[in-house]
Amino acid sequence: MKTCLTPVKIQRRTMLRVYLAILILIPAALKAGYGQQTRTGAEGPFTHLFDTGTSSSVPLPCKVLSKRTGWTKLPEDEVAHEFKGDVVFMNDKLAVALRRGTCGAEVYSRRDDDFKMRGLLTPVAEDQTINLSSVKIVQNNLNGVAVDATIKTTDGQILILRYELQMGQTFIKTESVRGITVLRTQAPCRLAVLPDFFADDIVIDAEDIPVSKAELPSENFIMHMLDDACTPLSAVADSKEGDAATGGQAILMCVWDKRGEDVRITLSGRGSKRVITGSEIHYGNGGKIWVAVMEDEGTWHMQKVTKRDAGNVIQLDWKMPYAAQWRVDWRLDNNLTDSWEMISQRPDGEYVRHGWFGQPESFGTPDWMRPGRKRWTTVLGWFQYPCWVDMNGQGFLQPLKKKLCFQGPAIIYPINRLKETPIDKFTVVDIVRETLGMGPCEYILDVEGQQQESAGIATCAARDILDAIYEKKQQKAKRAEVEKALVDVLAFVQHIRVRIDDYVAFGRRMQKYLAEQKKAHRELAEPLAEMETITHTIDEYLAKRKAEIKTPEYAVNLVEQFRTELIDYEGKDALEKCKKITADLVQIGGNQDELVGECRMAVKILRQQAGLMMATDSRMADIAKEVRRRTQEMLRNPVSYEAPRH
């Protein structure tokens, strides 16, 4: 018999906002204190602006950036300076170079005095050659540097793009001042990730995309998983192809605040040498685009998994470089992604899973998680949790043996901050919070929609309470407890049933919408039919369990029967009658739990499939965006038994 979950306590909006407020203060903490202990020595927190004195025809080598021989460091508040050479500004994490006659800003990550080029940020001017003609200083002090880069096109247009770097930050803020609508981030990689804080990530593998340009959902974030085999200029300007990535020490992440046009990626190369050469993002009206670099040895890792690995423990050639909530994006055999958060081993040998909003979730909790990584969820049943780090930070994978078949690259990266995360380390959610700010961050992360809802007590918990009371013949003495259990169990059954009905209604609305699109877009009949098939699985799941979940009235009648026949009944068969009704309730509850989990799985698959269809067929863009909007609305405020995060 299936063991049931203990109801999950509802996350309170105020607590989530407090947590967000605490983490949004990280930049201030960095400015106030971290710089005093930074690896750059006694200099303290800073941003500096330099004139190199002479212009370079090639990207600045690491040694030149480190030594800065012959460079002039501009004094604070000097904003009228006319540059004789190239423009370089930096803090303790990043450096930005604007070279005369080039087309954009070269972005370098910095560790001590070790610099590596990570990206090239350029405005997009269709069918035009562009050149940097001049730079005007907007801000120049220890807190931050901002410059306006004036760019000329071959047809005489004047474009102005602002670049800004603040003290302690690991990202550059860009803003169109004049005439620029699109920013191109040239950061070659095999893999790009669109993190999904609601469901499963979308992972784009260059090897899977045959076209030279692809559209992706415009949902505020894209990550280039950088490998040191590719550099922003060699992979494009020199037409060299990067090796297939196996992991790296840098992630370049773009964040933007306007959802307008889709994100476009460009690709080149063939087979295992194929790379995503860059991404193009629209500013929108008054919008901003931030480009962040998360740099550390082991910031991300890729492990290739085959079907033969199912059930086997894989010790990774990767250790957690710092405490954080690490996500694993597993590739499934149907080319979709299944996103999991790694669990951490405690000193006592047991495990803890960190909650999405900072709260720890014990991994040894009775009923739903057991010692030794044993876990239960709807749909998957019992299994060994497949990704973890031990007490020494060593990473392990153990692909599931049933239900889900993992095959292909498994990608690991830091998704969220823990209280143990060092203040000078960054995660994806840190970047989102620091760039967008509190209000927009809450909206885009959909904090309210992330909350899990529960009502009453699970049918198996009610069974245990009632059977124990009647076995001890305490039904009269504990009449109030019996009555409460009946009220709570009915509330639980009805709450899950409402959620199931919502999923069924969603599926039928989606079927109607897709049928309308097939009529309007006959050329898209095949991909639309594929999405229709996914939506029909909700009805199939319902048909499979309809007899076991009964009707809502049946559950009400069971509870009423218990009240009228058993509350004060002390006959010899009282326990037998009690067990019969509680068993019926458990059958209803267990099947409802499985059904709501199956429905959620179908909607998650539909959401991800829509995003992937955009990448391979740009004609699907508008339909895919609408499908993703509807699926997010449906996935909001799950009940705990949907296992929204495994």
- Tell me whether residue 95 is in a domain: yes
Residue that wins the pLDDT comparison between 489 and 128: 489
The total domain count for the chain is: 3
Q: pLDDT confidence of 229, banded at 50, 70, 90? A: low
pLDDT on residue 443: 63
Segment 575-603, tens digit of pLDDT: 999 999 999 999 999 999 999 999 999 99
Residues 209 and 291 in one domain: yes
Residues 473 and 395 in one domain: no
Residues 188 and 171 in one domain: no
- Nearest Cα to Cα of residue 278 among 218, 226, 207, 201: 226
Q: Is 358's pLDDT higher than 60? A: no
Residues 358 and 423 in one domain: yes
Q: What's the rounded Cα separation, in Å, for the pair 549 and 565?
A: 23
Q: Is 155 exposed, middle or buried (0-12, 13-18, 19+ CB in 10 A)?
A: exposed
CA atoms within 13 A on the CB side of 405: 7
Q: pLDDT confidence of 45, banded at 50, 70, 90? A: confident
Q: What's the rounded Cα separation, in Å, for the pair 494 and 513?
A: 28
pLDDT on residue 457: 92
Residues 162 and 55 in one domain: yes
pLDDT on residue 233: 62
Range picked from 4-18, 296-310, 433-447 for highest mean pLDDT: 296-310
Q: What are phi and psi of 52, to 5 degrees?
A: -75, -15
Under DSSP, is residue 121 helix (H, G, I), strand (E, B) or coil? Answer: strand
Q: What value, to the nearest 5°, has the Cα angle with vertex 67 and ends 64 and 68? A: 70
- Tell me whether residue 577 is in a domain: yes
Please measure the distance between the N-terminal and C-terminal CA atoms of the chain and give it in whole angstroms.
20
pLDDT on residue 638: 87
Q: What are phi and psi of 78, to 5 degrees?
A: -80, 110
Q: pLDDT confidence of 490, banded at 50, 70, 90? A: very high
Element at 146 (helix H, strand E): strand 144-153
Residues 109 and 188 in one domain: no
Q: What's the rounded Cα separation, in Å, for the pair 288 and 309?
A: 44
Provide the token pair at 322.
Answer: 């710092």
pLDDT on residue 368: 57
Cα distances (Å, whole numbers) of residue 55 to 86, 151, 181: 5, 16, 28
Residue that terminates a domain, selected from 394, 426, 449? 449
Residues 123 and 244 in one domain: no
Residue that terminates a domain, selected from 129, 155, 180? 180
- Tell me whether residue 13 is in a domain: no
Range picked from 39-53, 77-91, 121-135, 365-379 for highest mean pLDDT: 77-91
- Tell me whether residue 564 is in a domain: yes
Residue that terminates a domain, selected from 149, 180, 211? 180
- Tell me whether residue 12 is in a domain: no
Region for residue 380 given its phi and psi (left: phi exceeds 0; alpha: psi -120 to 50; beta: otherwise): alpha
Provide the token pair at 135.
Answer: 């730079």
Q: What are phi and psi of 282, to 5 degrees?
A: -85, 140
Residues 110 and 230 in one domain: no
Query: Which residues face 222 on adjacent strands?
Result: 254
Helix and strand numbers (H, E) in the chain are 12, 31
Domain containing 629 equals 459-642
Query: Read out DSSP for 87-106?
Result: EEEE-SSEEEEE-TTSSSEE
- Tell me whether residue 383 is in a domain: yes
pLDDT on residue 231: 65
Query: Which residues face 87 on adjacent strands?
Result: 51, 98
Burial 606-618 (b: 16+ CB within 10 A, else e): bbbbbbbbbbebb
- Tell me whether residue 60 is in a domain: yes
Segment 195-218, tens digit of pLDDT: 988 789 999 999 999 999 999 987
- Tell me whether residue 469 is in a domain: yes
Name residue 253's amino acid.
M
Segment 332-344, tens digit of pLDDT: 999 999 999 999 9
Residues 539 and 390 in one domain: no
Residues 405 and 505 in one domain: no
CA atoms within 13 A on the CB side of 70: 9
Residues 168 and 49 in one domain: yes
The residue assigned the tokens 């895919």 is 624
Q: Is 103's pLDDT higher than 90? A: no
Q: Do 521 and 620 contact (CB within 8 A), yes or no?
A: no
Residues 476 and 546 in one domain: yes
